[in-house]
Structure 1
Amino acid sequence: MLIRTFMTIALVLGSVTAQADEVCATDTSGKRLCLDQPATRIAALSPGATELVWAAGAGDKVVAVVAYSDYPPEARDVTSVGSHTRMDLERLVSLKPDLVIGWVTGNPPEQLETIRELGIPVFSIEPRSFDEVSDTIRQLAALAGTEAHGDKVAHHFRRGIAELEATYRDADPVPVFYQVWDEPLMTVNDDHLIGKVVTLCGGVNVFGELDRLVPRISEEAVLAADPEAILAGGMGEENRHWLTHWQQYGELTATRRDNLFFVPPSLIQRPTPRMLEGSRLFCEKLDQARARRRHGAQ
């Protein structure tokens, strides 16, 4: 009788321990994922996912990434399993991940489903607001057992965004065109996270009301909108030729006032904590445009 009692207590304690080790989080698509214990071998299937996992404090757990996962620098040393659209599933499986971080609109759904069918947990993310950036960091930290680090990074990011919101809440509006690509010519609307950066800094997105998140537009449309400032990133951290193109249009207000501004794409086009640095830079550029307006630029 006594032995049976001890066995019952042991089973109960074992169940409590298992439940205590379990970690859960809800992904961007609303799916709740629970792991028996925090992940120790993580595969990040987009450059943005890689950055966010590192931001969550779990970089030392990453065993697989995809092409262009270049930040932080340590990510370049992690095994690549192809690109975000063409993964080498055999190589991925050989690395024995216990958690795969997918990108909602970046990874082929059929490949993510195949990974799930192989019994590997998949957590899909794609933050589309400032709050979602910080929430995603916290969710990833929960799954990796790095909550203290993730909470600190998420709080710092949200506090920084709140400070910018307070600073530019009553700023004079500046009509803005943000160029996200050159051929075809593409921009963002107000629902896009970059569009939210424009609004955050007191800008008015001249293409903000278009239906598509990343609409294609024509040069004629830009000339007709006549933005006071044009911001672009180009295809590299120092590649400014997209802005050089607009210098031929002297009738554009942005060109006439020398409001053609470069913003490194990695700081503004990935929904990661580095968007705070990119947003600050974006706001500074619009402040320059306001100053030139006040000083009588024609």
Structure 2
Amino acid sequence: MRLKNISVIIAIFIVLLLGGSLTLYWHALTPATVTITYTTTVTETLTRTIPPKIYPLTIVDALGRQVVVSSEPLRVISLSPSITEILFSLNLGSKVVAVDSFSDYPPEVVELKDKGVIEDIGGFWSPDLEKIVALAPDIIIADSDAHMKFKDKFEELGLNVIFIRGGAAATVEDILLDIMLVTKVFNVEDNGAKLVQNISVQLIAIEEKLKEAGKVKTLVLLGPPSLGLWTVGSGKFLNDIIRKAGGINIAEKYYGWIQLSLEEVISADPEVIIALVMGTTEDAKAVINEIVNSELSETSAVKNGRVYVLIGEADDIVSRPGPRVAKAVLLLAKILHSDIFGEQKRPDVVSMGG
């Protein structure tokens, strides 16, 4: 019996030590006290493991609006391809009930759309509002650049919408802030921090390799020249991608999406011309042929055979302000600085010699 009592006392000692209550109760070890102390300690331990209440919470979105998220969102609609990529990269795909027509990455999205698990709510610029309402989403994530015009209509329909910067992102860092904004909505900030850290590590590695490299004068065309010499200026994430890839955007003195004159381009004399085109390999070759046989042939880019057309996934990677942004920087860095990163060998990057 004495050994049994000692065992009980030792057991209680360990419990109290773990619970931080040893000093208070050590001098009061009687059979009755032992029972009460054990019960109290266990109750306190359970209380400490209860997670804090998260919802409702208030999110300040990219427009500066305070949006109340009353409970954990279980039905989510994405209005842009980059938003869809962000949601899936944060392992939130199971919550997505609908996306825009252009959302096609990761490949799982296409499979789920084909199976009818994820609905298609129309174009990036013109989502089907009636269908969106019928799907009864808990939250809609929208692009402030493309969907700002629908803000009042969203509110009129009673839809809970959070705007991220999206196409209005001015820098790569803005894209990372978008990712973290989405994590707050779903209480997955730890996942977001890991993703952002991974992207940042990739960007730092590229920056280190380019430390001693010279800047390459670059023109990025947003489509074939036949539609006009449309390109990107400062204040847009694509301009920052060019800079981080070791280039100098010849249109950087302008702001936003702008159309250059032929004279301006020839005067700036880009060393590399990159065209972003929605099309096939044959379409890409046709664009290169158009550039080579135009007045743009006077540029160093054409003279030195440094004209490239990005189609398919390569076009998407560079055009979308999402979690593949480090890949976008590396993709352009391989074009601008092949001496450092090696030749760009992708079927969706078509060159003059390809």
Which TM-score bucket, shorter chain as reference?
0.7 to 0.9
Note the alpha carbon deviations across 1:115-134, whole angstroms, 9 max, x for none.
Answer: 22333211011233222212
2:83 partner letter: A
**2:101 counterpart SS class:** coil
- Match for residue 94 of structure 1? 134
1:122 partner letter: V
Deviation, structure 1 residue 270:
0.6
Identity of aligned residues (%): 24
Larger fraction in helix = 2
Structure 1: stretches of 5+ with no match in the other structure: 1-12, 292-298
**1:216 counterpart SS class:** strand
**1:281 counterpart SS class:** helix
- Structure 2 Cα separation of the partners of residues 113 and 45 of structure 1: 16
1:245 aligns with 2:279: no
- Match for residue 124 of structure 1? 163
Structure 2: stretches of 5+ with no match in the other structure: 1-46, 342-354
- Match for residue 198 of structure 1? 242
4+ runs deviating over 4 angstroms:
16-19
- Structure 2 Cα separation of the partners of residues 204 and 290 of structure 1: 17
Change (3 A) 1:27 1:162: farther
1:229 aligns with 2:266: no
TM-score under structure 1 length normalisation: 0.83
Deviation, structure 1 residue 237:
6.7
Say which of 259, 269, 274 aligns to 2:306: 259
1:144 partner letter: F
- Match for residue 263 of structure 2? 220
**2:274 counterpart SS class:** strand
TM-score under structure 2 length normalisation: 0.71
- Structure 1 Cα separation of the partners of residues 245 and 125 of structure 2: 33
Deviation, structure 1 residue 62:
0.8
Count of aligned residue pairs for this structure pair: 275
Say which of 59, 71, 78 aligns to 1:37: 71
Deviation, structure 1 residue 68:
0.9
- Match for residue 79 of structure 1? 119
Deviation, structure 1 residue 93:
1.1
Change (3 A) 1:31 1:161: farther
- Structure 2 Cα separation of the partners of residues 132 and 237 of structure 1: 31
Change (3 A) 1:237 1:193: farther
- Structure 2 Cα separation of the partners of residues 163 and 202 of structure 1: 13
1:179 aligns with 2:221: yes
- Match for residue 137 of structure 1? 179
Q: Is the 8 Å Cα contact of residues 254 and 260 (structure 1) preserved in structure 2?
A: yes
RMSD between aligned residues: 2.5
- Match for residue 26 of structure 1? 60
- Match for residue 323 of structure 2? 273
- Structure 2 Cα separation of the partners of residues 63 and 222 of structure 1: 45
Pairs within 5 Å for 1:39-78: 39-76=73-110, 77=113, 78=118
1:46 partner letter: S
- Structure 1 Cα separation of the partners of residues 298 and 306 of structure 2: 13
**2:68 counterpart SS class:** strand
- Match for residue 5 of structure 1? none
Q: Is the 8 Å Cα contact of residues 209 and 340 (structure 2) preserved in structure 1?
A: no
- Structure 2 Cα separation of the partners of residues 257 and 17 of structure 1: 62
